[in-house]
Structure 1
Amino acid sequence: MLELQDLHAYYGKSHVLHGVQFSVGKGEIVALLGRNGSGRSTTAKAIMGLVEATGSVNWQGKPILGKKPFEIAHLGIGHVPENRDIFPKLTVHQNLLLGQKGKGIGARWSFDDMYAMFPRLKEREHTEAGVLSGGEQQMLTLCRTLMGDPDLIIIDEPTEGLAPKIVELVAEYLQKLKSRGVSVLLIEQKLTIALSISDRVLVMGHGSIVFQGTPETLRADSQVRKEWLEV
């Protein structure tokens, strides 16, 4: 579905990504791992048209590099950024409503689905999003993106700052996406969640992919973990 070839990205004169190359298949969870500053978030932004980039990004066989972010979103790619980006003065329900494309007719996900997955959001349905806890805001951002019915969702550090029980909920949520045919590119630092739910893992270092393989292969490769992941 998603294929990157020789992707380079820049912030002004700073060359951040160096020939990134990988793919994400239909209904597949792919984890993109690496230390802070390795280029993971920049990769997500390059896919979404948020940074200057060269190379090739193909979505369902068609090039999307150079398109505007809203055009890419309407093609079926959802992006959950690390900073959450909720609308603080709008209620939970209003935030979810803004995530819908058109009237939501024929979409895989409904308000009831969101509230069933995260009952806490149902309890806070009419509460302004700005007063939610960090975990609740993360749930809301994930659900708002899903309301747009994407075929691929790019999630940047979804478990950052969350309590262990909420982390487990997020893992269950991502597996539920897969069961409904949604592909996931998971940008994560926590090895535990990434290795437990991913079909494949990528490790990034200095703006390049330095490892591709299964979770089992990465578990067995202590050298890669030590050099590129462990603090």
Structure 2
Amino acid sequence: MSALLEISNLHAYYGKSHVLHGVDLVVHQGEIVSLLGRNGVGRSTTVKAAMGQVDAKGSILFKGEQLLGLKAYQIAHKGLGYVPENRDIFPSLTVEQNLRLGQKSTRVSNQAQRWSLEDMYQMFPRLRERQHTAAGVLSGGEQQMLTLCRTLMGDPDLIMIDEPTEGLAPKIVDLVAAYLTELRNRGISVLLVEQKLAIALDISQRVYVMGHGSIVFEGSPEELRKNHAIRREWLEV
């Protein structure tokens, strides 16, 4: 299995605050990897650094190319997608206009577009019902669906998703889990930042646990289930 995203010895900073302390993380082709941990330990900073949004040192390779020093839009055009925690939609535009904005005008490669508007509407019928509605009046769950789908319309090879189930009803959480599994079935790798242990363990092939800006555990979901000491110290409230 080939490595798609390789983060090595990553250090990141907010001003003079040193947030990440030598993070190592790998996402292979066609797998879902979850990055777990309590709030404030550096999980979101890790994906923001990969997307060029945080000052960082070390190495972030995507498909063998160094990302550090590139702008976010350059990174996106290389095939790395990012869904931020704040559901960054355009509230005055309709659902369909938001989705169309996510499309790439050109592809660097000759790869055919994997996703269409119809795919989005089939996966989330609620978006079809709301396609002509201003995004700003959608519910939280609907906005989360829209944000995920808009990122997908950019046809990424790997998508980094920050807390997609935060504040969502259990039924919508199940929808998101099914959606992420469908991404993997279509050959898209996923790096999932998540606090809900159940969803992460159910859909991931591998998991990392972060504490105080460093990786404190790496292994399979089953290994984490059995490691009560790690769960107690770094995950449980």
TM over 0.5: yes
Which residue in the other structure is 1:106 paired with? 112
Deviation per CA, 1:125-164, whole angstroms, max 9, x where unpaired? 0000000000000000000000000000000000000000
Residue 93 (structure 2) pairs with residue 90 (structure 1): yes
Runs (4+) of structure 1 exceeding 3 A deviation are: none
Partner of 2:29: 26
SS at match of 2:19: strand
Count of residues paired in the alignment: 231
Find 2:43's aligned residue among 40, 47, 50. 40
Give the distance between the partners of 2:105 and 2:186, measured in 1 at CA: 21
2:13 to 10, 22, 47: 10
Match of 1:121 among 120, 127, 138: 127
Partner Cα separation in structure 2 for residue 26 and residue 12 of structure 1:
34
- Picking from 72, 75, 82, the partner of 2:75 is 72
Output one character per residue of 1:28-62: Cα deviation in whole Å (capped at 9) or x when no partner.
Answer: 10000000001000001000000000000001111
Structure-1-length-normalised TM-score:
0.99
The one-character-per-residue Cα deviations of 1:162-209 (angstroms, maximum 9, x if unpaired) are 000000000000000000100000000000000000000000000000
Match of 1:221 in 2: 227
Partner in structure 2 of residue 178 of structure 1: 184
Give 1:22 deviation, angstroms: 1.2
SS across alignment from 1:90: coil
Within the alignment, does 1:204 sit opposite 2:210 as a pair? yes
2-structure distance, mates of 1:11, 1:110: 38
Structure 1, gaps ≥5 residues long: none
The Cα shift of 1:95 comes to 0.1
Q: Partners of 2:68 and 2:152 in 1: how far apart?
A: 23
Shift of 1:103: 6.3
CA deviation vs aligned residue, 1:80-111 (integer Å, no higher than 9, x gap): 00001000000000000000001689210000
Query: Which residue identity does 1:100 align to in structure 2?
Result: Q
Match of 2:196 in 1: 190
The whole-number CA distance in structure 1 between the counterparts of 2:193 and 2:66 is 22
Deviation of residue 25 (structure 1)? 0.3
Counterpart secondary structure, 2:104: coil
Match of 1:160, as an amino acid? E
Shift of 1:229: 0.2
Q: Which moved more, 1:101-110 or 1:199-208?
A: 101-110
What residue identity is the alignment partner of 1:219?
A: R
Q: Aligned partners of 2:146 and 2:18: how far apart in 1?
A: 34
Structure 2 regions of 5+ residues with no counterpart? none
**Corresponding position of 1:50:** 53
Please tell me the root mean square deviation across aligned C-alpha atoms, in Å: 0.9
2:157 aligned residue? 151
CA distance, structure 2, for counterparts of residue 49 and residue 102 of structure 1: 21
